[in-house]
Chains A and B, each alone.
Chain A
C-alpha cells in the first residue's frame, strides 16, 4: 500500500493501484481537487505539485513511484493558519487570473522557483515557468506577481 505525506498529513492510499497518477489519487481519493487536469501528458503544467520540494507533473507520476514522498499541493501552499504566502497575495492583488484554471499549477511552479532562487530575473522566470501553459495567456501578470512576491520576501 502506497503511503504519502500530503500537505503535512500522512495518507494511506488503501486499494489505489500503484500505477495511478498522483493527480488522480489527489483528486479522486483524497478530495484535493485544487490540482488540475489539463493534458495528461506532461505538456501543460496544470497538474504541478511539489514532490519532496520539486515541482512535478502529477499527471505522469504514478503514486507507486513516489511511495513515502512528501507532497505539497495548492491546498497546502498557505500556512497552517491559512495565512497566504506573498506569492498567493501577489496573485490576488495583481488580479492575475482570468479563468483561473491553470493558476494552481502556475503557483506551484512559481513557489518552487522562489524557493530555489529568491530574486529571479525575467529570464529565470521564463525558464522556470515555460512548462506551464496559460490558455488565457495571463503570462504578463504572472511574471509581475512573481517579481512582487520576490521583493516582498525581502530579497
Chain B
C-alpha cells in the first residue's frame, strides 16, 4: 500500500485536470503562434493519395458511384474521391454533444463543400495528426475552430489551384462553391471530384496564406443540420462501445468491493467456475489506483449473461482494512460544525469584507448544501480489448479521453503505447464520467490474463457504485447591503472535501472568479476541508453546476432583502459592459452577461403578475466561456408538488455552429439540471453508495419535461461550446421561482430532501 491517505486523493486526476486546463488556453496560444508553425505542429501538411479507409463511415447523403476510385488525401481532415465523395474526419469522441456533426461542418464550410457530398468518418487516435482528442470542458468547438477552418480552407485553396492550372488562369479569378471550382469569366466549372487527384499532389499552402471566410458568407454554419449518425441510430446499427464484437471474443464481469479500497480476502472461485458458461474466475490485485485497476474478481464467460448469472453465486469476503468508511450523515454533521469554526484558508478576496459587513445597512446569512450525484450515463461502462500474442493491444472503447486511454492501457499491459490501437466508438452518454478510463484498464488487465478478446461489461450497479461522483458541498454565506439596497459585501465560506487534508477532491474546489467576485466590491471566499475517501470527478459543468445554485439563490435572497427586483439587482451588479480580465475568454464579460439577462427576461415577460402558487425565477451563470441566463416558470401545490411549465434560455456562445445541435444541448442541459435538482443524490454509509440503480435514482421522465425556449445572441466573439454552460443556471432559476411561488426558500439539493416532488 502506498502512503496515500485516501482513495479520493488522486494525483493522476489532478494531472488530467491540469492538462485540460492547459488545453483550455490553447486557442489563444495557437493564435499567438504563426499559422505555419501551427500546421507543422498538428501535422496538417501531408497530402497525397490514400487507398482504403480506416474507421467506421457514417452518413452518406450523396450516392457513391460503385466505380469510385481511391480518395485523394488533402490533410488529416479531408479526403475527396474521384466520384466527389468528400470525407471529413471527426476527431473527437461523440458523447451526445454533437461534435461528430458540428466539427465536420466547420471544415465543410471553409471547403465550400456541399453537405450532401460529405461523408463523416470518425478519425483514428493520433495526437501527431489531430492534436488533443477528447470530449471535455465544452472545449471541442473553441479548441478546434481555427484548426478545422484552416484544414478546410487549405484543401479548398489546393482545389482552386488545380483548377486554375487546368484552365491556365489565375487562381484569384476562380471561386469555389457547392463542391466545385468556377471560373466566372469563361463560365467553366470543375467538380472537386474531378480536381481531387491533381489538387492533392499540388503544394500545400501555408495556413496564414489562405483566407478564411467572412461570417456573412457562411452557407452551412448556423443552419440546422441533423446528426450524421441519425439513420444508424434509428435502425439499431452497432455504433456504441457495448455493440462491438470480434470473432472469438469472451465476456467478462469484474467485481470490486463496494467500498473503494477493499480487497478480496476469500473468494469461492471453484464454485463460480463450475457455473454454466463460465470459462475462468480469478482475482486481480490491480495497481491500487481507482483511475486504473482496483483489486477485484474477474468472471470470464461465454456470454454476458453467463458472467452475470455466475456472479450471483459469487461469495467474496472483503478485507476492508484500507477501504473507505465515508458517511454522508457524518459529513453533513461535520460541515455544520465547520461552519462555526474559522475557515482553513482564503481562496479569493477583494476589498475588506469584514469591515463592509459590519458597516452594512443590512446583512443576511444563509447556508446551502447539495448532495453527491452519479453521472448515470445510460450506457454502462464497457470495453472490448484484445491482447495479442505479439504484444499488440487492440481496444474498442467508449471513452471521452481516448489518448489518455491508450497510455493507460499501455501501462497496464506493460507495452509501449505504439502497440496500442484504440477505436473510437459512439458513446452512450459521457457527462464527464468517461474522462476516467478505469474500465479500459480493467478490460486490458483481463484480456492480458486470458489472451483472448474480452468484452468487459459493467452492470448498472457497478456503474453507480464505482463512479467518480460529482462532489456534494456546503456554502455558508453572509451578505451585506448598503442603505440604497446595493450589494456591499459577500462572504462565502465553502466547506468541501479533501483526500489529503490539503487540497479539495477532484471537482470539489471553488476556484477564483466565482460570481459575484470583484463585482461585489468587498468579497471573500473561504474554504474548509472535510475528510473524504471516495473518488470524485467532473460532472457536466463541474463545480459550476452546484456553485451556481448556491450563489444565484443567495443573490436572489439579497435582492429580496433589499426590496429590489432580481433582474435590476443583477444588472446593477454587472455594471459597465467589460471583460473582467481582458484577453481571457475564461472570465466573464459583464456586457454579454447583461445582454442574456435582459433577453431571458424579455422572452419570459419578466415582472408579469403570476397567479397564486405560481412564480418566475431568474438566474445567470457564466461557465465554459458561455454566458447564460434562464427564467423558469413554476407552480407549486400546497403539498409541494412542483410543475415547471417553461424555461427560457438566453445564451451567448458566439456564432452557433449547428442550430439543431446547440438547441438540443440547451434543452438537454435544462432538463438534466431539473432532473438532478429534484430528486437525485448518492449517499454513502460505511464507504458504500446507497443508491445503485434507477429504482433509487429517479432520473426525470418525459411527463415532467418542461417546455424549453432557447434564444441565442449570436455575437461576433469566437464560438464556444454548448454542452455544459446551459446547465448551471437552471437549479437556481427553479429554486428562485419556487420562492416566488411559495415564499419558501429551499437551500438544499435535491429538492426532495425538503419534501418537494414533481407534480
* Residues of A with C-beta under 8 A to B240: 36, 100-101
Q: How far is the CA of A27 from the CA of B237 in the complex (A)?
A: 12
Cross-chain contact B380 with A38 (CB below 8 angstroms): yes
* Residues of B with C-beta under 8 A to A81: none
Contact with A along B237-271 (1 / 0, CB 8 A): 11110110100000100000000000000000000
Q: How far is the CA of A108 from the CA of B654 in the complex (A)?
A: 38
Cross-chain contact B694 with A44 (CB below 8 angstroms): yes
Contact with A along B427-465 (1 / 0, CB 8 A): 111110000000000000000000000000101100000
* Residues of A with C-beta under 8 A to B224: 95
Cross-chain contact B695 with A137 (CB below 8 angstroms): no
Residue of B nearest to A88 (CB): B234
Of A44, A73, A136, most buried by chain B (CB within 10 Å of CB) is A136
Interface residues on B, range: 35 or more
Q: How far is the CA of A33 from the CA of B241 in the complex (A)?
A: 11
Whether A116 is near chain B, meaning CB under 8 Å from some CB there, is: no
Interface residues of A in 18-48 (CB under 8 A from B): 19-21, 24-25, 27-29, 31-41, 43-44, 46
Cross-chain contact A34 with B700 (CB below 8 angstroms): no
Cross-chain contact A135 with B242 (CB below 8 angstroms): no
- Chain B nearest CB from A2 CB (Å) reads 13
Interface residues of A in 59-111 (CB under 8 A from B): 73-75, 77-78, 84, 88, 91-93, 95-104, 107
Cross-chain contact B664 with A138 (CB below 8 angstroms): yes
Cross-chain contact A135 with B378 (CB below 8 angstroms): yes
Cross-chain contact A92 with B226 (CB below 8 angstroms): yes
Q: How far is the CA of A133 from the CA of B428 in the complex (A)?
A: 13
Residue of B nearest to A90 (CB): B234
Cross-chain contact A95 with B664 (CB below 8 angstroms): yes
Cross-chain contact B693 with A43 (CB below 8 angstroms): yes
Whether B668 is near chain A, meaning CB under 8 Å from some CB there, is: yes
Cross-chain contact A36 with B702 (CB below 8 angstroms): no
Cross-chain contact B309 with A133 (CB below 8 angstroms): no
Whether B235 is near chain A, meaning CB under 8 Å from some CB there, is: yes
Whether A125 is near chain B, meaning CB under 8 Å from some CB there, is: yes
Q: Given A100-B96, A132-B702, A140-B708, decide whether A95 and B303 contact each other with a Cβ distance below 8 A.
A: no
* SS class, residues of chain A in contact with chain B: loop
Whether B748 is near chain A, meaning CB under 8 Å from some CB there, is: no
Q: Given A24-B303, A98-B96, A98-B97, decide whether A33 and B235 contact each other with a Cβ distance below 8 A.
A: no
Q: How far is the CA of A19 from the CA of B303 in the complex (A)?
A: 13
Interface residues of B in 639-689 (CB under 8 A from A): 660-661, 664-665, 667-668, 670-672, 675
Cross-chain contact A41 with B378 (CB below 8 angstroms): no
Cross-chain contact B236 with A46 (CB below 8 angstroms): no
Cross-chain contact A37 with B380 (CB below 8 angstroms): yes
Cross-chain contact A125 with B702 (CB below 8 angstroms): yes
Interface residues of B in 341-387 (CB under 8 A from A): 376-380
Whether A10 is near chain B, meaning CB under 8 Å from some CB there, is: no
Of A40, A88, A95, most buried by chain B (CB within 10 Å of CB) is A95
Cross-chain contact A140 with B230 (CB below 8 angstroms): no
Whether B229 is near chain A, meaning CB under 8 Å from some CB there, is: yes
* Residues of A with C-beta under 8 A to B705: 137, 139-140, 143
Cross-chain contact B702 with A143 (CB below 8 angstroms): yes
Q: Given A36-B428, A99-B96, decide whether A137 and B460 contact each other with a Cβ distance below 8 A.
A: no
Cross-chain contact B303 with A92 (CB below 8 angstroms): no
Using a CB–CB distance below 8 Å, which chain A residues touch chain B? Answer: 17, 19-21, 24-25, 27-29, 31-41, 43-44, 46, 73-75, 77-78, 84, 88, 91-93, 95-104, 107, 125-127, 129-143
- A sample of 13 more A-B contacts (CB under 8 A), given A102-B378, A133-B694, is A36-B240, A36-B428, A38-B378, A84-B231, A95-B227, A95-B660, A98-B665, A107-B234, A129-B702, A133-B378, A136-B668, A142-B702, A143-B705
